[in-house]
Structure 1
Amino acid sequence: MSPLLEAEQAVLGAVLLDPGQLRQLDWLAPEHFHRPVHRALFAAVRKLHANGHAALAADTSVPLSWVTDTVAEAGRHVRGLTASHAHSLISACPRPGHAPVYGRMVLEGAIHRSVTAHAIRLHQAARADALQGDVEGSLRCADMLREVLSDLARRWGTEPRPVDPGTPPAPTPSAAPPSGWATGAEEEQVLLGVLAERPKGMEEVVGWLRPADFADPARGEVYRCLGALHHRGEPIDRITLLWEAQRRGLLADGTLSRDQLAAICDGVGPGSAEWLGEQVMRSSVTRTAAASARAIRALAENEALAPGRLINHALHALSPLDEVRTRWQAANGRPAPNPPAALPSGPPSAQVHAALARSASRPISPPSAPSGSAASSAAVRPPSRGHG
C-alpha cells in the first residue's frame, strides 16, 4: 500500500473518530482524495458537519450514529460501501490528533496529480491546435493551468511565483517537435525567401518574430542573419546573406550550406511577409505550449519534489509560452491579456505596523545639543522587531 493511500485512510479515520478535526481541515476538499470511495466519505463528513450533526455536540465519546450516518450519506454516491469499511479506516488511523498532517499528505498527492492532468491536457490542446492551424485551445488550457497552480498554492500556503528549477526537466521550446507534429516548415522556407528577395518585408515582422520561432534551427539562423543585415542598414541579397552566414561561422560548423541558402534565395514565390510570419508564430505558440506541458509533466511526476517547489517551477515553465503569446498578440494587432491577479500575500499586519513605525520621521537634534544627546534621541526611536 502506498503512503498516499495510507494517508487518505488515516485522515478519514481521524474525522470518524473525532469530528472536531474537520475544523482544522477546511482547506482540504473531497476532490483531493485519489480513491472515489474516499472522496465520497470525506464529502459526507463535510456535509454532516455543515448540517450540525448531533455528534458535534458530544462531550465525551462520539456516538455510533456519526459513523453510520456518514456511511449512509456516502453510499448514495458510491456502491458497495459498508460500515465495516468505515471501521477499517478508523483502525488505520494511528493518532486522530495528527489529522492536519495526514491531510497535507493527501493534498500533496492531489497537487501532483492535478498538475500532471492539466499538463497532459495542455499538451493535447497544443497538438490539436498544431494540426488545425489554431492557438486558442492551447492558450485557454495554459490559462486554466495557471489558475489551478494559483489555487493549489493558496491551499498549500505558499506564494505562487516563477522559480527556475536550475536544470530543465524537459527539452526547451526551441527543440525539435515530436514526429508527426505540424511544423509549418513550408511557410518558414517561403518567408525567408520573401525576406531575402524583398528586404522591406523585414519591417513587417522584425518587431515580433524571433529566430527561436522557427522549428528548424538552421532556418532560424538564416532569419538571424537577415535581421542583422536589416539592423545595420546593409543591403540584403543572396551574396550579402551568404557573407553574413560565413562571418557567423554557420558554414564552417555545418549549420548551413551554400546549397541551403541558394534554395532559400532562388525558390522565392509570391507571398506576404506579414502573413507568412504569422503562420510561423502560430506554429511557435503551439510548439512552445507543448514544450511547457512536457516540462511541467516531468516536474509533477517527480514525487520527491515538494508541492511549493513544484508549483513555482511549473509557473516558470509557463514563462516561455507567456513571452511567445505576447508576441503573437502583437503580430495580430491585439493587446496581450492582463496578467492574472496575484494572490494576496505579504508580511503579517504586526510586521507592517512595525515597519511603518521604523519608517516614521524622527525629531532632529538641534546643532547645539551636547554630545550625550544621541542616547536621548535613540530613546524615542521605536524598538526594532524581528521578522520572524
Structure 2
Amino acid sequence: MPHTPELDEDDDLDRVPAPKPVHYAEQALLGALLLEPARLADTEPLIAQHFDSHTHAMLFTAIRTLPPPDPADHAKDTAWLNTVLNHARPHAPGLNASYLHTLVQFCPLAKHAAAYAKMIRADNARRVLCAHAERLASTAADPGLPNPVASVLGMADDIGRVLDSLTGQFVPHPGSFPRTALPPDVPRQASEEDLDEERLLLATATAYPAEVRHMRWLTEADFLLPLHSALWQSITALVHRGGMVDPVTVLGEAQHRGLLTGTLTPKDLMALVSTPAGSPEYWGEKILQRALIARAQAVAARITAYTDDPANTPHQLITGSRRALADLNALRTRWNRATAPKSASTGAPARSGPRPRAGPPRQTAVTAASSHR
C-alpha cells in the first residue's frame, strides 16, 4: 500500500479547505472534453459563467471557441491540446500543459460529460441564488434608502425571476421540499421612535375609528410590542363590531382581554390612547413598512440557509425559496392595499385636511389631543 505521510498538527495544509464537489465535476468534464471534444454537444446549456473556478471557465471557453480537431488526428498528437492551452493561458496565467494532462487522467468516463455538466449547473444555481439572497438582506438592512419598500421588493422580484429561469432547467422530483433546519427568527429591534409611532397609531385610531374600518391590511403581527398588538386588536374589535370607540371603551375591551396588570393601570392605558396626531393610515403604513422590511430579512436568511445546505438539490432550493418568497408576497399584497389610491369603489372615506397622510411634527400631538377632547 502507498504510504501517506502524516502532517504535523501545525502544518498549513491542515487549514486549507477541501475542494467542493463541483471542483471535481469541473475537472471531470474538462478532462472528458479534452479527451473527446465532440462531447461538447452533450453539455448544453452549460456556459463558462456556470463554472466556480475561473481557470476552468477560461479553459471551457477555449474548448468552445476553437474548432474541434479531427478525431483520428487528435488520437495521435497533442496539437489541439496545445492550441487550447495557448488560447486559454492569457486569461488564466497559472494554466500549464501539466494541468491539462492531469484533467485528462482524472476523467472517469468521457461519456458521462452530460452528468458532470449538470452537476456544475446545479452548483452555479446554488451560488446565484445565495448571491441574490445576500443582496436582499443587505438592501433590507440599509437605513439610507429613499424608498426601502420598493428597493426590497425589487430585489425579491429579482429572486423570483432567477427561480423562474431555474425551474425550466431542473427536473422536479419527489421530496422536493428542503429539510434544512432554518435559523430562528431574529428578534426585531424596537427603537423609541418606532414604539412612539405605534403609540401614535393607537391614539389616532381611537380618535378616528371610521378610518380604522378600512385598515384591514394592518395586523397584530406587524407590531413590535405585544401590548400595542393587543391594544390594536381591542380597537379593531370594537370598530368591526360597530361599537363606540373612545379611551374608556378601549379600556373596557382591554380589561376583557386581560391586558390590565400591575404595571399597566387603567389610567396608563387611557393615557396611551388619548393623544392623537395625524392620520391612523399614516402611522399604520410606517408600522407595516417596518414589518415588511423585517420579513424580507427573514426570507433572505431562510434562502441563504437553503443554499448553504449542500444536501439540497436544485429543485429543493427552488421549492423552498418560492415558499419563502410567498411569505414576503403576503406582506406585499397588504402593502399594495394600504398604499393604493382610494376610490369610491373601496368605500374608504377621503382623508380630511386636519389629518393629512403625512405625519405631523411631534410637537403637534398635544394640540391635536386637546382639540379632540
In the superposition, the TM-score normalised over structure 1's length comes to 0.74
Separation of aligned partners in 1, 2:267 and 2:243? 23
Residues 100 and 277 of structure 1: CA distance in aligned 2, closer, same or farther (over 3 Å): same
Separation of aligned partners in 2, 1:246 and 1:93? 74
What amino acid maps onto 2:293 in structure 1?
T
Separation of aligned partners in 2, 1:34 and 1:41? 12
CA drift of 1:60 comes to: 7.2
CA drift of 1:260 comes to: 6.3
CA drift of 1:259 comes to: 7.0
Please point out which of 71, 77, 83 is paired with 2:91.
Answer: 77
CA drift of 1:298 comes to: 1.0
Name the counterpart of 1:58.
71
Separation of aligned partners in 2, 1:8 and 1:286? 39
Separation of aligned partners in 1, 2:111 and 2:42? 10
Moved more, 115-124 or 78-87: 78-87
User: Any residues of structure 2 matched to 1:109-188 within 5 Å, and which?
Assistant: 109-128=123-142, 132=146, 134-158=148-172, 169-171=182-184, 176-177=187-188, 179=189, 184-188=194-198
Please point out which of 202, 209, 228 is paired with 1:199.
Answer: 209
CA drift of 1:71 comes to: 2.0
Q: How many residues align?
A: 321
Whether the 8 Å CA contact 1:116–1:300 is kept in 2: the answer is yes
What amino acid maps onto 2:39 in structure 1?
Q
Name the counterpart of 1:32.
50
CA drift of 1:305 comes to: 1.5
Name the counterpart of 2:350.
none
What amino acid maps onto 1:239 in structure 2?
V
Please point out which of 81, 84, 92 is paired with 1:67.
Answer: 81
CA drift of 1:145 comes to: 0.9
Superposition misfits of 4+ residues, deviation over 4 angstroms: 59-63, 129-133, 163-168, 179-183, 249-252, 254-260
Separation of aligned partners in 2, 1:222 and 1:80? 66
Moved more, 183-192 or 94-103: 183-192
What amino acid maps onto 2:132 in structure 1?
H
Whether the 8 Å CA contact 1:226–1:236 is kept in 2: the answer is yes
What amino acid maps onto 1:233 in structure 2?
G
Name the counterpart of 1:220.
229
Residues 314 and 54 of structure 1: CA distance in aligned 2, closer, same or farther (over 3 Å): closer
Whether the 8 Å CA contact 2:38–2:68 is kept in 1: the answer is no
Name the counterpart of 1:314.
321
Identity percentage of aligned residues: 33
Name the counterpart of 2:239.
230
Which digits, 9 at most, give the CA deviation of each residue in 1:179-201, with x for residues without a partner? 58898333222111111222223
Separation of aligned partners in 1, 2:141 and 2:191? 7
Query: Aligned pair 1:12/2:30, yes or no?
Result: yes
Structure 2 gaps, min length 5: 1-17, 343-373
Separation of aligned partners in 2, 1:99 and 1:146? 30
Name the counterpart of 1:299.
306
SS of the residue corresponding to residue 75 of structure 1 reads helix
Name the counterpart of 1:345.
none
Name the counterpart of 1:377.
none
Residues 46 and 185 of structure 1: CA distance in aligned 2, closer, same or farther (over 3 Å): farther
Which digits, 9 at most, give the CA deviation of each residue in 1:248-283, with x for residues without a partner? 34457x9987576345213x2421112222212222
Separation of aligned partners in 1, 2:266 and 2:307? 45
Name the counterpart of 2:347.
none
Separation of aligned partners in 1, 2:184 and 2:144? 18
Query: Aligned pair 1:270/2:277, yes or no?
Result: yes
Q: Please report the RMSD computed on the Cα atoms of aligned residues, expressed in angstroms.
A: 3.0
Residues 269 and 244 of structure 1: CA distance in aligned 2, closer, same or farther (over 3 Å): closer
Separation of aligned partners in 1, 2:213 and 2:170? 48
Name the counterpart of 1:261.
269
Please point out which of 65, 86, 102 is paired with 2:100.
Answer: 86
CA drift of 1:237 comes to: 2.3
Which digits, 9 at most, give the CA deviation of each residue in 1:264-314, with x for residues without a partner? 213x24211122222122222211111111111111111112221111111
Residues 181 and 112 of structure 1: CA distance in aligned 2, closer, same or farther (over 3 Å): farther
